[in-house]
């Protein structure tokens, strides 16, 4: 049996960050990872998808807007497989970087499947078939999630795909139906539409990005339709029928049935916890009815020396949240006193075209919580930087507490708006008001001026 101060189960953004933090704090650390260092995000999620989105941006500009920029593309040749190859190189480089950091920090890495055999003992079946028994004073669970699968419509990698299969395939589908209008669905739609595929996106809720501000979802839908992406909201998936040509997707909306013919269907309707695979009952760790590990705002589970961070804790399923939770857990175990995380201030970013970004309260959630609020809103349509970029769709909407004027939320739709979030979430964390933001001079010309203008509108209405 190998002894450690800390065992980390899972080497995604939360897991490897936690391992580096505990090692930095002088604790002997082991990481167990059954697949690839960096987890879903680095290997088949947020990192390669951003590479593909950059390629798609170039493809879209050359296909649709080249003459606007004085470029002739009469014999344009777009190689989608080259875009995928580039995305794999980006992921590989970062994967190797994580391996270097862990090795340099003295962290032992075990590639295999972990299972608790006791509160302090983790049994590992290595990928080569060998077995190891590890014990530690503290354990950090960062094993993430897996995609939800629909009975009767299981992915086969050819005609019915999950996100992993979709992001790895090198052939561009000519016609594709995406089931699920969340962040992953709209990003895939952006990529494939950029390359000229006929894309239909289906969402059961009333608007795209159903966890975001409704107005933002409707703005994205309007833009998608202008780009030629077909959007069917308020629509349920009934079944998928495989055909010689591809698939027939059966849909239902308002008790009316319809079908869409396509080469492929991609199902991205959510995720479920990997925690049930860990034998948590042998460690005494409590889970919710949906399989998420019960953990407090510091990541502490029902067992004092076991922590749950990242997606498996079911709080905010985002890579940067997992990283932040990993640093907190790593410091707590080392006896330090880290500040608790503000989950209400966690930034959300969707890298569609246009982008959507947000944090804190939406108008819907503020009303549901009984919070009196006021808004300030400004559009990109007259923003000099946006006009220069040729991307002036969208707007910024800021929410402020009506009594104190302190910012409590924001939603942004437009070019590179994910880069504008830190100013706003920092302002909220520091209790800044609409007037504070309005008085902060923003460089000209920048996209961030729209934030200032939205704050000025909120102040002028006061």
The enclosing domain of 177 has a CATH number of 3.50.50.60
Q: Based on the domain organization, do 206 and 261 belong to the same domain?
A: yes
Question: What is the extent of the structural domain holding 178?
Answer: 160-269
Q: What is the pLDDT of residue 354?
A: 98
- Give the H or E element holding residue 41: helix 39-44
Q: Based on the domain organization, do 129 and 196 belong to the same domain?
A: no
Q: Based on the domain organization, do 40 and 124 belong to the same domain?
A: yes
pLDDT at 81 over 70: yes
Q: What is the pLDDT of residue 41?
A: 95
Q: What is the pLDDT of residue 293?
A: 97
Q: Based on the domain organization, do 102 and 215 belong to the same domain?
A: no
**319-337 pLDDT tens trace:** 999 999 999 999 999 999 9
320 is catalytic: no
What integer best gives the mean pLDDT of the chain? Answer: 96
- CATH assignment of the domain containing 397: 3.30.390.30
Give the confidence band of 65 by pLDDT, cuts at 50, 70, 90. confident
Q: What is the pLDDT of residue 68?
A: 87
Q: Based on the domain organization, do 334 and 366 belong to the same domain?
A: no
Q: Which residue's structure tokens are 């344009």?
A: 76
DSSP line for 237-280: EEEEEE-SSSEEEEEEETTEEEEEEESEEEE---EEESGGGG-G
The average pLDDT across 8-27 equals: 98
Q: Based on the domain organization, do 402 and 442 belong to the same domain?
A: yes
User: Under 8 Å CB-to-CB from 444, ≥6 apart: which residues?
Assistant: 384
Give the confidence band of 67 by pLDDT, cuts at 50, 70, 90. confident
Q: Based on the domain organization, do 29 and 117 belong to the same domain?
A: yes
Q: Is residue 86 part of a domain?
A: yes
Q: Is residue 173 part of a domain?
A: yes
Q: What is the pLDDT of residue 460?
A: 87
Q: Is residue 131 part of a domain?
A: yes
Number of domains comprising the chain:
3
Of 226, 242, 269, the one marking the end of a domain is 269
Q: Which two tokens stand for residue 236?
A: 């349920």
Q: What is the pLDDT of residue 75?
A: 85
What predicted TM-score, i.e. pTM, was given to this entire model? 0.95
Q: Is residue 349 part of a domain?
A: no
Q: Based on the domain organization, do 212 and 122 belong to the same domain?
A: no
Give the confidence band of 462 by pLDDT, cuts at 50, 70, 90. low
Of 269, 292, 308, the one marking the end of a domain is 269
pLDDT at 420 over 90: yes
pLDDT at 120 over 80: yes
The average pLDDT across 110-117 equals: 98
Of 204, 239, 269, the one marking the end of a domain is 269
Q: Based on the domain organization, do 125 and 34 belong to the same domain?
A: yes
Task: Single out the catalytic residue among 120, 123, 320, 444.
Answer: 444
Q: Is residue 414 part of a domain?
A: yes
Q: Is residue 20 part of a domain?
A: yes
Q: What is the pLDDT of residue 203?
A: 98
Q: Based on the domain organization, do 370 and 452 belong to the same domain?
A: yes
Q: Is residue 172 part of a domain?
A: yes
The answer to whether 18 touches 10, Cβ cutoff 8 Å, is no
Q: Based on the domain organization, do 14 and 143 belong to the same domain?
A: yes
């Amino acid at each position: 049996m190998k002894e450690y101060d800390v065992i980390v189960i899972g080497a995604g953004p939360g897991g490897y960050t936690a391992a580096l933090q505990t090692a930095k704090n002088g604790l002997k650390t082991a990481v167990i990872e059954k697949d690839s260092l960096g987890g879903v995000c680095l290997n088949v999620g947020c990192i390669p998808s951003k590479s593909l989105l950059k390629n798609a941006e170039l493809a879209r500009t050359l296909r649709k807007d080249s003459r606007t920029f004085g470029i002739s593309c009469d014999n344009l040749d777009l190689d989608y497989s080259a875009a995928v190859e580039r995305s794999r190189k980006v992921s590989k480089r970062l994967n190797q970087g994580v391996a270097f950091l862990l090795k340099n920090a003295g962290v032992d890495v075990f590639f295999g499947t972990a299972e608790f055999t006791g509160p302090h003992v983790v049994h590992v079946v290595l990928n080569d078939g060998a077995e190891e028994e590890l014990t530690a004073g503290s354990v950090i669970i960062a094993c993430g999630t897996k995609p939800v699968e629909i009975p009767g419509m299981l992915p086969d990698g050819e005609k019915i795909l999950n996100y992993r299969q979709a992001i790895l395939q090198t052939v561009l589908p000519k016609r594709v139906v995406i089931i699920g209008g969340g962040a992953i669905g709209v990003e895939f739609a952006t990529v494939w539409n950029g390359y000229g595929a006929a894309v239909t996106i289906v969402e059961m809720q009333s608007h795209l990005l159903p966890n975001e501000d409704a107005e933002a979802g409707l703005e994205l839908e309007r833009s998608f339709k202008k780009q030629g992406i077909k959007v069917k909201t308020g629509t349920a998936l009934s079944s998928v029928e495989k055909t010689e040509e591809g698939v027939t997707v059966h849909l239902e909306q308002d008790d009316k049935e319809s079908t869409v013919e396509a080469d492929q269907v991609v199902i991205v309707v959510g995720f479920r916890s990997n925690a049930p695979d860990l034998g948590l009952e042998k460690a005494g760790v409590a889970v919710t009815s949906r399989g998420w590990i019960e953990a407090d705002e510091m990541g502490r589970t029902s067992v004092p020396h076991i922590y749950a961070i990242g997606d498996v804790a079911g709080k905010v399923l985002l890579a940067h949240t997992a990283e932040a939770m990993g640093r907190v857990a790593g410091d707590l175990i080392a006896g330090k006193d880290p500040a608790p995380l503000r989950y209400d201030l966690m930034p959300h970013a969707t890298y569609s075209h246009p982008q959507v970004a947000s944090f804190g309260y939406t108008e819907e959630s503020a009303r549901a919580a009984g919070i009196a609020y006021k808004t300030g809103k400004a559009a990109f349509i007259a923003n000099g930087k946006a006009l220069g970029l040729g991307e002036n769709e969208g707007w910024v909407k800021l929410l402020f507490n009506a009594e104190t004027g302190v910012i409590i939320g924001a939603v942004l739709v437009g070019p590179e708006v994910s880069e504008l979030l830190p100013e706003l979430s920092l302002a909220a964390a520091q209790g800044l008001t609409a007037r504070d933001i309005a008085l902060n001079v923003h460089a000209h010309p920048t996209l961030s001026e729209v934030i200032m203008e939205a704050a000025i509108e909120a102040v002028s209405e006061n």
